[in-house]
Amino acid sequence: MWSTWLEYARNDNDELVVGPILTTLFLTLLPLVLLIIFLLHRRKSTQTIPASPLPPGPTGLPLVGYLPFLRTDLHRQFTELSSLYGPIYKLWLGKKLCVVIGSTSLAKQVLRDHDTVFANHDMSVTAYVATYGGNDIVFQPYGPEWKKLRKIFVREMLSKSSLDGMYGLRREEVMKSVRHVYDVVYKAGTSPVDFGSLAGSTVVNVIMSMIGGVSLKAGEKTIDGVEFRKLTTELMVLIGKPNVSDLFPGLAWLDIQGIERETKKVIRVFDAMFGSAIEERKRIITEGGGEVQRKDFLQLLLEMINDHDHEDGTNATTISLAQLKAILMIIGHCSGWNGHNNDCAGMGNGRASQESRGNEVQEELTQVVGLTNTVEDFHLSKLTYLNAVIKETLRLHPPVPLLVPRYPSQSTTIGGYNVPKGAKIFLNVWAMHKDPSNWENPLEFRPERFLNNSDDDDDDASKFDLLGNNFNFIPFGSGRRACAGVPLAERMLLYVLASFLHAFEWELPCGGKVELSEICGIVLKKREPLLIFPTPRLSIIYR
């Protein structure tokens, strides 16, 4: 290149002419110089304009951060910290940066405006083990596989036609529990019933029936409803327990607290149980010539394992064995969540009775169902007041008060603050549901808020569903990662509660009051059991 310039820069006398060289050089280098100046100026500008700051928050200790100061009632403690630092603040828990969101407007930014960025759930070591490596619909990273699992879960397993087809299984188990209360508890005399335990056991039996049978084998051991509930409770406790391995990832291989080891021990029982159920169902299918009469969740999932490719060459509904077991695990956990919901709904009915509203529930059941009939699935949509009692109870006592934590896939600005990629995001639904700017007299128990003929100043009651479409009421989350099991939870909760309330009058012990205190784990639980006395209302079901 230089020889070319020199060749054109000589005159007729072969004398070197410098001017053209400099001109050519200047014109060649000018764009490069201008580009360098522009880049340097841009770099300087970005350095002088600081990025959004991190949210404010309490000062912790070196290495451990705020961890030593955490209480067991996290939802209440986080609400108290919001009053000091605002609706968004940060906490360092070990090496993990956590951001707590405590207002509806900021939750809307996370769950709607930046839904894709926050479309992943923060997966603990325990959750990874419990879900067969994140192969379930809750912790599977957002992407094609998650979309496939959600489609299977929502459109196939929990579709209206699928749930309608399993109504007989639900009805059979609920009626068994109702008769048990009459035959064993009522006839026995004076002992009150632990309503939460009763409802929880009923839901477990229903879920087990929908999975594959009311009793399942795990090796030589038979797992019945009591044992299944014990296992799911143990697993939920392990998942909700603070783990050093999550807060200090570099120490995860040591499993200092032994939580991962204990989780694997529980999962081995579930794995044996699911494996046994799968083999037994395959045997039944083979002996039946490929036909099976029972259509439950296990059968639906087994058919998806054997599903053929679609015409476009994709495996849109084909799942792996690990995914099948992980989905069964999530459905099994629904028994624990629904048990809590029934416990809280029973507490809500207790509060309604305590505040002279209980008669309205009974009157509605008498009017809609009648005293000579049992509650059926088609009655549920007409039980508007009982539905309002359930929603008001879920408002005051959301099952997962901080929701399942999320993490952003990239750094994002929320409420004017920088939320870094990978931070753990808590959404304090418990506090949002009690925000006086969203709810009139938020601490009062008023089911009328959720009735369309309500004169309350709250939003139109018809907008409040369990799918999170109104951000003032999101007991099961909102957005694309909201709880996918809502259709099952809604049916189970209303049907089980309506059946027990229609079959019996429930009374608190003389002088007793509904204890409202809670224990916060992965789900919210009553500190004290709800003990109430049943008195039969119907005779038809005891014949």
Query: What is the dihedral sign for C-alpha 391, 397, 400, 403?
Result: positive
Which helix (H) or strand (E) is 534 found in, with range? strand 531-536
Per DSSP, the residues of 79-138 read HHHHHHH-SEEEEEETTEEEEEE-SHHHHHIIIIITTTTT-EEPPPHHHHHHTTTT-STT
Range 441-447, long-range pairs (CB < 8 A, 24+ positions): 443/396, 445/348, 445/351, 445/352, 445/355, 445/392, 445/393, 445/396, 446/392, 447/348, 447/352, 447/357, 447/385, 447/388, 447/389, 447/391, 447/392
Strands 424-427 and 96-101: parallel
Burial class (CB in 10 A: 0-12, 13-18, 19+), 223: buried
CA distance 168 to 360: 29
Per DSSP, the residues of 293-309 read S---HHHHHHHHHTPPP
Ramachandran angles phi, psi of 217, nearest 5°:
-95, 140
CA distance 466 to 496: 17
Tokens of 339: 């048990």
CA geometry: angle 67, 71, 76, nearest 5 deg: 120
Tokens of 238: 């392990």
Tokens of 141: 């990273």
510 labelled binding-site residue: no
Binding residue positions: 483
Binding residue positions for heme: 483
